[in-house]
Amino acid sequence: MSIKRLRLLGLLPTWVTIGVLMIGPLLIMAAVSLMEANVYGGVHLRFDVSSYVQILFDKNLFDETEFNPAYLIIIMRSFMLALGATGLALLIGFPAAYYIARQPDHRKNLLVFLITIPFWTNLLVRTFAWVIILGRGGFMDQVGSFLNIIGPDESINLMYTNTAILIGLVYSYLPLMVLPLYASMEKMDVRLLEAGADLYANRYELIRRIIVPLTMPGIIGGSILVFVPCLGAFIAPDLLGGGKKLMLGSLVQLQFATSRNWPFGAAIAMMLLAIVVIALMVNARAARRHAVYEQTGAEATHG
């Protein structure tokens, strides 16, 4: 038996696992999204694309199809909150990752360890902590009362708002932004910054012309790692939004658990999957461009 066939045989358990546990459920979900919904849950084995049509259109009392912006509002809210959380995570994580990358080795390990500590606690428990902090009479209200921003019996009213959801999303997924940025910045050649400073570049120009281009794979990778789970999050919208500010993840959970409209929930899930695939394709394309850029720079340097 050839070495190539032995390698394929050795990878067979991996491909079977991926096929059964990953590709198989996705195919089932895609098939369910193209079937007719049963009133009491489940599906009828009949081809039907009305679940995808329902995302933008609905039938009125006269059985006429008309545009329904309800789900479009949820989609736009999900995108805006996911983009906002990604932007804030990048704004906070970029200087944090740069600071960690410039520390001595023994301190780097400690700081990276501290970044990963939140993952040791269940996400549900961490989100409940923000309910206590942002809730009426919580820590934020006490600080506002101490600073005379609000009265003793008043509240900032952050709970059950988009702001509360945004805070919960940034807190939950900020480490996923810091770690890829740190991995990119740690490999950055510090001599390039010194050369830029010798050429009279100020700090803004050093960031724009050297640091950002060299850490672009980390920026793109961290943004995807934050954006994708934020788009499908349902714990933060449920707890911090009080069920009043639905996002796509909450909508999918609601369709399967409460409304029992499995095809529509599957259609929303497949739309989320399509967004994830597009994001990964953008990341792969950016990574290829960055590799070409580095190779061209290396050839120019050696030449």
CB atoms within 10 A of CB 34: 18
Distance of CA 263 to the CA centre of its chain: 24
Cα 23 to Cα 15, 19, 186: the distances in Å are: 10, 5, 35
Write down the CATH superfamily of domain 72-302: MetI-like (1.10.3720.10)
For residue 156, pLDDT over 90 is answered with no
List pLDDT tens digits, range 236-270.
888 888 777 888 888 888 888 888 888 999 999 89
CB atoms within 10 A of CB 138: 17
List pLDDT tens digits, range 7-25.
777 778 888 888 888 888 8
CA distance 191 to 195: 6
pTM of the model: 0.82
List pLDDT tens digits, range 67-113.
888 888 888 999 999 999 999 999 999 999 999 998 888 888 899 89
Q: What are phi and psi of 58, to 5 degrees?
A: -145, 165
Which residue(s) pair with 47 in the sheet? 35
CA distance 138 to 59: 44
Alpha helical stretches, state H, 174-261 = 175-186, 190-198, 203-206, 212-214, 216-231, 235-240, 248-257
For residue 297, pLDDT over 60 is answered with no
Reported confidence tier of residue 292, pLDDT bands at 50, 70, 90: low
Sketch the domain layout of the chain as residue ranges: 72-302
pLDDT confidence of residue 209: 85
CA distance 292 to 117: 36
For residue 155, pLDDT over 80 is answered with no
Structure token digits, residue 115: 């970044």
**Contact (Cβ atoms closer than 8 angstroms) between residue 180 and residue 94:** no
Reported confidence tier of residue 293, pLDDT bands at 50, 70, 90: low
CA distance 50 to 68: 14
- Residue among 268, 257, 283, 281 at smallest CA distance from 78: 268
Structure token digits, residue 51: 């679940």
Structure token digits, residue 28: 């089932």
Reported confidence tier of residue 282, pLDDT bands at 50, 70, 90: confident
The C-alpha R_g of the chain, in whole angstroms, comes to: 24
Structure token digits, residue 107: 């301190």
CA distance 205 to 87: 21
CA distance 186 to 218: 11
